[in-house]
Structure formats: C-alpha cells, structure tokens
Amino acid sequence: MLLGCTQDAGRRTQNALNEQRRIVFLSFFLCLFSFLICSFTQAQDRCAEPLSYTPVTAPQRIEWSKFPDFNLPFTIVYGGPRMGDVQGQPLRHGFSHISTMQDAEFGTVVQPRQRAIEWSGFAFGLSQPWEFAESPWNNDLNAYRARWNRYLRDVSGNTRTANGKYNIQADILMVDLERIHETDARILRLKTDPSTPPAYRTLPDDQFLLRYKKDMTALYAEGLRYIREQADLTNARLSTYSDSPILNTFVNVVGNSWSDWSTNPARVHYLLKDTTNFAHVGGPFYDRLDYVSPSAYYYNDYSSALGPDFLAYMLFQIEANRAWTTKPVMPFVWMRYHDCCGNYPNFIRPEMAEATAIFPFFSGAKGLWLWDVPGFDNPSSTIYRPNDVYTAYESFVHGLYRLSRFADMFEGNYELVIPKPARDLMEAREPVWRGVVKGDNILIVAQNPYAPEGAKTTITVRHQNFSRDIILTGRQVYLCQFNKTAVTALPEQPAFTDLTLTPNPVQQQCTVTFSAARAGEVEFQIINLLGQVVYQKPIRASLGLNRQQLDTHHFSTGLYIVRVKNEQGTIQSRLLRTAD
C-alpha cells in the first residue's frame, strides 16, 4: 500500500513537471513566433528615418564625417566645392564620380572610373560668330579643331592609346556648348546680323529658321564627331550640358497638356530632332550622345508663389525626356537658385535639397550631376563668398544617405510607380508621391511642397491591390517601404477628382469640369498668386461629373488657382489668363 502511494505521488510529480515543461515550451514558442512576426514586419515595413545631426553653421565647410559611409547604384557626380578635402569624401558618401579634384588625388584617391570631366567654354575663346552671335555660319572650323585638339592633348597628358587616340582617363566627358538660339524669335534676329551670309538673309522666315536649325545641329554634331575621332572613349561616356529632347522654362510647363509634351514632335528641341523623320528624336548630334542631361535648376524661393513648384518642375524634366528617349537621363542640379529671378546666388532650402537627392530616381533618372560655380569657395577668386554656409549640401547628402537604406530596391529589375505626371501635379498643386516596386515590396517617397510649416497632410498611395494612407508633416520628405501584399482597408473615395480647365490658357471664358464623390454644396474659388480670393461662389454639385462656366474677361493677365472644396476635401488646378 505504501509502495502504491509512493508510485502515484511520483507519477503526479512527473506529470506536473511535464505540464510545466509544456507551458514553458509553449511560452517560448509563442515568444519566438511573435519575435519572428515582428522581425518580418519590420523587415518589410520600415522607414528611412532622418538622421539626428546638427547642420553645419560655420561658413565654408561641409562636415562629411557626420554621415556614415554609404554607396548608391547610380551615377552621381560631385561637382561642388571641396574646401580642402583631398581624401575623396564625396566618393564615400553616395557620389560615384568627382569632377573637381586636385592633381594629387587622381590615380590615388580618385580612380579614372570615378572621374568626370567638365569641358567648359567649348565654343568660346576664338571670337567667332558661334561665340558672339550664336550663329552656325562663317566660323573657322579649323581654328576650333586646333583648339579642341589642344584641350584633348592637355587633359590626356598627351598620352595616346594603341590606336593613336588621346587617352582620356575618365568615365564621363561632359561638353558644355551652350551657344544656340532656343526660340524662333531670337533666331530670326540673325537676319540682320552682318555675320549671316547675304543669301540667307533674304530667305522667307520659315526657310531661314529651318536653315539655322539644320546648320546649328550640324555644328554641334561636328564638335562631338571631332572628339570621338581624336579621343579614345571606349571606356567613357560622352554627353553635353542641358541638351535634351524637351527643353523648357519654369513658367511654361502647364501651358501644354502632358499628352502634348509626351507625344507632340513639335515639343522636341530641334538639336535632337531627326531631320529625316520629324516625329522622332535623332539626328547627327543626338546620335553621338551616350545620355541626356536636362538642367533642373530652381528659380524661385518660397517668397514667390511659384516656389513650391520646384519638385514637380524637376520631375517634369526627367519624365518628359524619358517619354522621348531610351537613353539614360541624368539631370544637372544646383544647390543655389538660378540667376534669373532675384534669388541668386543664395542656397535653396534644406528640404528642397533633400528632395532633390531622392525623388529623381523614382521618376526614372539614372544619375545626377551636382554642380556649382567654381570660385565661390576660393579666397583668391573675385566671386568668393566667405559667409556662405553649406547647409543645403549637407541636406543633399542626408537625402542620398536615406535613399541608400533601400539601395537594393534599385538594383536588378524593378518597376516605377508614377500615379500622376509631374506636369499635372504642378497644375493642381498637389503633394508629390512616387514608388518603386521590387518583388513584394513597394518603396514610397512623398512630399507636400505646398504645405505650410508643420501642417499635416494625409494622402493615399495606391498600386494595384495595395493601398495605404500616409501622413506628411510640413515639407519633410517621407521615405518608407511596405509589403504590398499586406491586406489593407480600402480608403474612402476622395471628395473630388478629375478637375480640368478648358481652354487653358484662357482669354474670355473657360469650362471647369470636375467629378464629385457625393452631391451637395461646394465652394468654387479663384485665387491669385498673392493668395487673395478674387472670385467666390457656392454651387450645388451633383454626384459624378460637374461643369461650371467661368468668365475670365475681367481678370488681369497672369496665373490663378481654381479651387473646388467642401468639408470632405479640396481639389485645385492652375489657370493662365492671357491677354486678349
């Protein structure tokens, strides 16, 4: 009996121990499962949060050491000031090439594959019509070829390859020509220029324009032909500054529809148009370019109503050119404002600089060239600016660093998500978002350039079955990756969509068309660029398509914002009123 009791007690003890082991094991398993789920979620849904760093305050400094070393899978050329750096710091912080270097750096810190050459003054220095009149006629091409030959000899150190060509030890050779008349009106002024051949001056205007454009294209092509004939560019890429199929100024982007910009051959610049088939890009100059480099410099600060358009403008330069060419697009960017509009040579704002470093690659750019005027950092230069604080440069590097957290998303095969062309975003003055899809992941970048400081903006990002509401703060750049296969609730339909203005530009009257998600009263407003409401009217909107006639004959010429809003949302677009 005692033995039986002892055995029962032993069994009960063993069962209790087994139960404890099961509980411990189950708890461990649940913890491990939770950890794996959390880890998986974090691996799939993560953001490139901004670094915590103190922007530079001392003038004439860029503090590279505050950023970790990192790389990106793009061609990103550093053409800015070095300020005493001879250790190739840009190459350790997202840049793939340097165009401003000391002789001692080349071959040690900077290898030939990391060198980019900027050939300035290509058409200057000989007092020829190409220089002083931007004319393709009566130029001494032998004098130009001799000058080009001297440059190639000097930049190659007078070394030649086995095939007898100058040995250009660089990966990129960028030629800065910049001697053309871009508009027909300016070209026609040459009909009175004494350097123009007399036989051309008597031509009808249309024939004169055609003659100029063909001859100028041939002159541009001759420069690149000579380079390729004399220099070994087997391992180098050749391009020029700002010569791309779509050339435009900041103010005329919304003057044509996106369909017109992307399909109308009349929008293609004559330098890069195939003269045998005017419906396509091509020709002797275009064919000699390895990539195209539009200029994406910014014109206006936020003191101007056009200042917030900077981001849509830059992306338009990329997207419009990608619509016409399969060659890589690599814009030039500048951390200062253009010298056209009263802000030069001030630096652009930090949030503009950071956006410039990130967004282009989401619109399909294959690289960037960061440029600055030589001499701003040189005490011996007449344009030296001793009080310049290079915060914008650090913001640009910070943007590159944040992008590098997702460098793998841009390697191999990936898909760009461009929900709305940049041209249309500029007209509607909407937040900008773009995406990159690779596998099950989607990387989202977003910014609201039109937001007041600190304001919250909620936008919905969508791709196929993926949908997510994200919150933007002020003008900060949002950069996050999501698992696009995750199930998310479909957001509420936006209050208004598809706002169009026809015609635009307008003189007397236009038709405003928009779609409403529900019937009800809405506010219809016209706002000038000073933010003043110059016209306001409550209207009754019906579900679906709505039309509203707008008389504009009493408005002054200029840009206006047409806005439709209610408690559920707002939609707006830009309207250009031209002179009668």
- 388 neighbors 59 (Cβ within 8 angstroms): yes
Check whether 80 has a pLDDT greater than 60.
yes
**R_g of the chain, CA atoms, integer Å:** 30
| Cα torsion angle, 19, 25, 28, 32, sign | negative
Mean pLDDT, residues 202-212:
96
Mean pLDDT, residues 175-184:
95
The pLDDT value given to residue 488? 55
Check whether 171 has a pLDDT greater than 50.
yes
- 536 neighbors 523 (Cβ within 8 angstroms): yes
Which residues, 6+ apart, have CB-to-CB distance to 191 below 8 Å? 200, 201, 208
Check whether 34 has a pLDDT greater than 60.
no
Backbone angles phi, psi at 319, to 5 degrees: -70, -40
| Cα torsion angle, 275, 281, 286, 288, sign | negative
Mean pLDDT, residues 214-223:
97
The pLDDT value given to residue 161? 96
Mean pLDDT, residues 273-297:
91
Q: Please give the Cα distance from 44 to 471 (Å, whole number).
A: 19
Check whether 369 has a pLDDT greater than 50.
yes
Per-residue pLDDT band at 39 (split at 50, 70, 90): very low
Each residue of 357-382: b (16+ CB within 10 Å) or e? Answer: bbbbbbbbbbbbbbbbbeebbeeeee
Pull the structure tokens for residue 342. 């009263």
CA max distance for the chain? 133
Mean pLDDT, residues 125-139:
97
Check whether 489 has a pLDDT greater than 70.
no
Class of domain 496-577: mainly beta
Check whether 271 has a pLDDT greater than 90.
yes
Check whether 33 has a pLDDT greater than 80.
no
The pLDDT value given to residue 276? 77
Tell me the β-bridge partners of 442.
Answer: 437, 482
For β-strands 75-79 and 116-119, DSSP reports them as unpaired
The pLDDT value given to residue 553? 85
263: closest CA among 423, 34, 105, 445?
423
**Domain segments of the chain as ranges:** 64-115+235-417, 496-577
Q: How far apart are the first and last CA of the chain?
A: 117
The pLDDT value given to residue 175? 98
Give yes or no for a cis peptide into 505 (omega within 30° of 0): yes
CA 114, distance to chain mean position in Å, is: 22
Check whether 259 has a pLDDT greater than 60.
yes
The pLDDT value given to residue 579? 83
DSSP code string of 142-206: HHHHHHHHHHHHHHTTT-B-TTSSEE---SEEEE-------SHHHHHGGGG-TTS-HHHHTS-HH
**Window from 240-244, 331-335, 391-395, 550-554 with minimum mean pLDDT:** 550-554
Check whether 436 has a pLDDT greater than 60.
yes
Q: Please give the Cα distance from 259 to 253 (Å, whole number).
A: 12
Cα 295 to Cα 13, 243, 437, 489: the distances in Å are 81, 8, 27, 41
Q: Please give the Cα distance from 513 to 536 (Å, whole number).
A: 16
Q: Please give the Cα distance from 471 to 453 (Å, whole number).
A: 14
Q: Please give the Cα distance from 393 to 330 (Å, whole number).
A: 19
The pLDDT value given to residue 3? 40
Check whether 545 has a pLDDT greater than 50.
yes
The pLDDT value given to residue 18? 54
Question: Which is more confidently placed, 46 or 1?
Answer: 46
Mean pLDDT, residues 146-150:
98
**Window from 200-204, 265-269, 352-356, 531-535 with minimum mean pLDDT:** 531-535
Q: Give the amino acid at 279.
A: A
Pull the structure tokens for residue 404. 């590098």
pTM of the predicted structure, to 2 decimals: 0.81
Q: Please give the Cα distance from 330 to 325 (Å, whole number).
A: 12
Mean pLDDT, residues 115-130:
96
DSSP code string of 418-442: -SS-HHHHHHHT--EEEEEEETTEE
- 116 neighbors 174 (Cβ within 8 angstroms): yes
**Window from 18-32, 49-63, 429-443, 562-576 with minimum mean pLDDT:** 18-32
Check whether 160 has a pLDDT greater than 90.
yes
The pLDDT value given to residue 559? 87
Helix (H) or strand (E) holding 31: helix 2-44
- 371 neighbors 79 (Cβ within 8 angstroms): yes
Q: Please give the Cα distance from 44 to 48 (Å, whole number).
A: 12
- 470 neighbors 478 (Cβ within 8 angstroms): yes
> C-alpha dihedral over 241, 245, 247, 253, to 10 degrees?
-140
The pLDDT value given to residue 5? 45
The pLDDT value given to residue 366? 98
The tens digit of pLDDT for each residue in 370-424 reads 999 999 999 999 999 999 999 999 999 999 999 999 999 999 999 999 999 999 9
Per-residue pLDDT band at 491 (split at 50, 70, 90): low
The tens digit of pLDDT for each residue in 298-307 reads 999 999 999 9
Pull the structure tokens for residue 274. 């195939």
